[in-house]
Amino acid sequence: MSKIEIKNVYKIFGNNPSEVLPMVKEGANKEEVLEKTGHTVGLDNVSLSIEEGETFVCMGLSGSGKSTLIRHLNRLIDPTDGDIIVDGTNIMELDEHQLIDFRKHELSMVFQRFGLFPHKTVIENIGYGLEIQGKTLEERNKTAMTQIEAVGLQGFEDQYPSQLSGGMQQRVGLARALATNPEILLMDEAFSALDPLIRSDMQQQLIELQSKLKKTIVFITHDLDESLRLGDHIGILNGGRLVQAGTPEQIIMNPADDYVKAFVKDVNRAKVLKAKTVMVQADKFDTSSIKLAETYKVNEGVYIEEFLPKVLENNSTIVVVDGKGDTKGYITSKELAISLSKTGYNETTNTTQ
C-alpha cells in the first residue's frame, strides 16, 4: 500500500470554486478559467502515489501548484474535489481532534525561510514540536540534543537563529522537523534560499539522514538537479496539472512533453543514467564482436560517469553484471553516444516537428 495517495484532486481558488469545477473537469486550462471566471486553478485532476520510505520530489515552475499540492497533505488547504489518503485514512474525514493529532505526530514541515522562532534558542526551537506534544523539558532536551548531533550543530544549542548562517538555520529547521519522529516529512523549497555550495551540503546531509531514517519525504523544488539528486520518484507540475511522474531515469529518457524537455535538456546525463538503463540486454547482444581483453565489468547500478573514461580511453565494452556477478547486458561506445546525446534516443521515434 502507498503511504500517500492523491486521487483526482482539484483545487480552484476564488469566490465560487464549485461552480467553476465542471468547466475545469471538462478540460478548460488555467488561462481559460482565469479569463472566463476570474478563478485560479491551483491543481487540476492530480493523482499520484507516494510509497513508504521514498523521497518524492515535486517539481515545476513558480505558480505551477507545488505548494498548493504539499499543503493538501497536512490539510492547510482542502481540495475543491478529490481525495487524499494517508496510511489508508482519508484525511478529509478526520474530525478536528484527529486532525490536530495527525499534524502533531504523523508529519512535519520544513519551510523555505526556515520558520524558526527568533526568541528561542536552537535547542528550544528543535524541542518545540515535543513541547506541543506535552513532553517534559528533560525529554525535549534529550531528543533535541540527539537531533543537534545528527545535523552537526553541536556547540550551537544555546545560540539564537540570528547568530547562525542560513545553512545552519536550515539545519535547525530540519532537526526540528525530525525531533517528533514523524512518518512524513514535507519540505517546501527547503533548500532554495541557500547559496549553491551550502545547498549542495544540505542535499548530501538529507541523503545521508534519509538512508538511515527512511522517512517518507515529499520534497518540493523548481530545480531539476536537486530533483534528480534527491528523488526516488519525481512528479512534474505545469499549470496545476501533473504532466509526468516517474523515476529520474524515466524522466530524462522519456520527457512527456515540451515543458519537461525544457527542464531536462541541459542535464548531465552521465550523472543520472545507470548502466542498466543504457545497456543492451545480454540475449540481444552479439558477443562475437568483442574481445575479452577489451571488456570491463560494472555493476548495473553504477552511473555512466564512473565507467565513461574506460570506454573513451580504451574503447572497452562494458559488461554489466548484477549483484551476484551474472552478466545482464553490454554497453559499447555506440550505446553511450546515443544515451548521452542531449536529445535522447526516444526523440527519433517521438519527434514530429
Ligand X SMILES: Nc1ncnc2c1ncn2[C@@H]1O[C@H](COP(=O)(O)OP(=O)(O)O)[C@@H](O)[C@H]1O
Interface with ligand X (CB under 6 A): 13, 40, 42, 60, 62-68
Where would I find the H helices in the chain?
A: 17-25, 30-37, 66-73, 96-105, 122-126, 128-132, 137-150, 166-179, 196-213, 224-230, 248-253, 258-264, 269-272, 275-278, 304-314, 333-340, 347-350
Shortest gap between Cβ of 199 and Mg ion (angstroms)?
Answer: 17
Beta bridge partners of 84: 6
The residue (of 62 and 348) whose beta carbon lies closer to ligand X is 62
Shortest gap between Cβ of 231 and Mg ion (angstroms)?
Answer: 17
The residues near 314 (Cβ < 8 Å, ≥ 6 apart) are 294, 296
**Residue 281: CA count within 13 A, CB half-sphere:** 2
Residue 316 DSSP label:
P
Q: What's the one-letter identity of residue 352?
A: T
Shortest gap between Cβ of 341 and ligand X (angstroms)?
Answer: 31
| Helices vs. strands in the chain: H and E counts, helices first | 17, 14
Which of Mg ion, ligand X, none interacts with 68 (beta carbon under 5 to 8 A by kind)?
Answer: ligand X
Q: Is 14:20 a contact under the CB 8 Å cutoff?
A: yes
The residue (of 237 and 311) whose beta carbon lies closer to ligand X is 237
- Sites of contact with Mg ion (CB under 5 A): 66-67
The residue (of 66 and 171) whose beta carbon lies closer to Mg ion is 66
> How many Cβ atoms are within 10 Å of 51's Cβ, its own excluded?
14
Helix (H, G, I), strand (E, B) or coil at 144: helix
Shortest gap between Cβ of 117 and Mg ion (angstroms)?
Answer: 22
C-alpha cell read off for 54: 521514498
The residue number with the shortest CB distance to Mg ion is 67
Which of ligand X, Mg ion, none interacts with 255 (beta carbon under 5 to 8 A by kind)?
Answer: none
User: Percent helix, strand, coil in the chain (nearest 5)?
Assistant: 45, 25, 35
The residue (of 121 and 221) whose beta carbon lies closer to Mg ion is 221
How far is Cα 318 from Cα 313, in angstroms, rounded to an integer? 13
Which of ligand X, Mg ion, none interacts with 221 (beta carbon under 5 to 8 A by kind)?
Answer: none
Which of ligand X, Mg ion, none interacts with 317 (beta carbon under 5 to 8 A by kind)?
Answer: none
The residue (of 77 and 272) whose beta carbon lies closer to ligand X is 77
Which of Mg ion, ligand X, none interacts with 353 (beta carbon under 5 to 8 A by kind)?
Answer: none
Which of ligand X, Mg ion, none interacts with 161 (beta carbon under 5 to 8 A by kind)?
Answer: none
The residue (of 58 and 177) whose beta carbon lies closer to ligand X is 58
Shortest gap between Cβ of 70 and ligand X (angstroms)?
Answer: 8
Shortest gap between Cβ of 189 and Mg ion (angstroms)?
Answer: 6
What strands, in cross-sheet order, belong to the sheet with 216-221?
107-110, 184-188, 216-221, 55-59, 233-238, 241-246
Shortest gap between Cβ of 194 and ligand X (angstroms)?
Answer: 18
Residue whose C-alpha is closest to residue 130's, from 92, 180, 90, 63: 180
Shortest gap between Cβ of 189 and ligand X (angstroms)?
Answer: 8
Which of Mg ion, ligand X, none interacts with 64 (beta carbon under 5 to 8 A by kind)?
Answer: ligand X
Residue keyed to cell 550543530: 153
The residue (of 67 and 244) whose beta carbon lies closer to Mg ion is 67
Which of ligand X, Mg ion, none interacts with 332 (beta carbon under 5 to 8 A by kind)?
Answer: none
The residue (of 221 and 332) whose beta carbon lies closer to ligand X is 221
